[in-house]
Structure 1
Amino acid sequence: MKTKLIAGGAALIMAAGVYTLTRETAPEEAAEAAPAQGAPIVEVTLPDTLSAEAELGKRAFDAVCATCHGENASGKTGFGPPLVHVIYEPSHHGDMAFELAVQNGVRAHHWKFGDMPAQDGLTKADVTGIVTYVRALQRANGIN
């Protein structure tokens, strides 16, 4: 009798687990769960002030990089990763990594956004300013 009760309870638990794993999510639940296409991926705290070089970098970033990496490097769902992220801290991705990414593009390796193409129309000074801007954002968000 106890064996049948235990087996019945186990079967009930397994059935509930299978139901939970295989049921389809209601469309309204799915919409709530997934961020909208183009939505920021992370929240970014802005620094109180930017240096003159970082200001120039912000302008270049807004003109070229924000299309994929989002406003204030917060990332953009469906487009590109946030640069205000521990993955891009200076000890893991040095300034030269940003310069090479702009010059040569990057094969996807940390995120599933696909490869980043090389970016035309940016001078070395533009990229230096962009890196200065991104590093200022990172510091304001505890990424050093």
Structure 2
Amino acid sequence: MKKIAFAGAAVVAVAIGAYLTTTKTNSQETADTATEGAAIVSVTLPETLSAEAQVGKQAFDAVCAACHGKNAAGKDGFGPPLVHKIYEPSHHGDMAFFLAVQQGVRAHHWRFGNMPAQDGLTRADVAGIVTYVRELQRANGIN
């Protein structure tokens, strides 16, 4: 009799565990689906952008925003925010952006995968993008 009661309790425990795991997994999948593509950080915009940053914003929006999000806020499931302390000038200097565009980047700070090299951007385009990102960073306390 004790064996039957123990076996019954084990079956109930396994069923409850399976139910909780399934419920958690389904909820997590729903949460992940709902946030994919959402901005990763909140970005405060500068009151004004310099002329070079305005041109850089246009290039950023055309090429970079698909992964790095609007206003470089990152894009969940796609790419990291560039308005983040990891990309402050003392850690990733301006040249890092030029090299990333030219050569791509092997994933090392984030889990978005490798960034491929970007075609169709001139050095002047990248300089404008860097100016735009740096002005966004400064407006968000990243110097």
Q: TM-score, normalised by structure 2?
A: 0.81
Partner of 1:13: none
Number of residue-to-residue matches in the alignment: 125
Q: Secondary structure at the match of 2:35?
A: coil
- Shift >6 Å, 4+ stretches: none
Partner of 1:142: 141
User: What is the deviation of 1:31?
Assistant: 3.2
Partner of 2:36: 37
User: Are 2:88 and 1:89 aligned?
Assistant: yes
Partner of 1:113: 112
Structure number with higher helix proportion: 2
Partner of 2:52: 53
User: What is the deviation of 1:36?
Assistant: 1.5
Q: TM-score, normalised by structure 1?
A: 0.80
After superposition, the C-alpha distances for 1:12-56 in whole angstroms (9 at most, x for unaligned) are: xxxxxxx99x94216346634775111110000000000000000
- State the superposition RMSD in angstroms: 2.0
Amino acid of the residue matched to residue 128 of structure 1? A
Gaps of at least 5 residues in structure 1 are 1-18
Gaps of at least 5 residues in structure 2 are 1-15
Partner of 1:73: 72
Amino acid of the residue matched to residue 131 of structure 1? V
Identity, in percent, stands at: 71
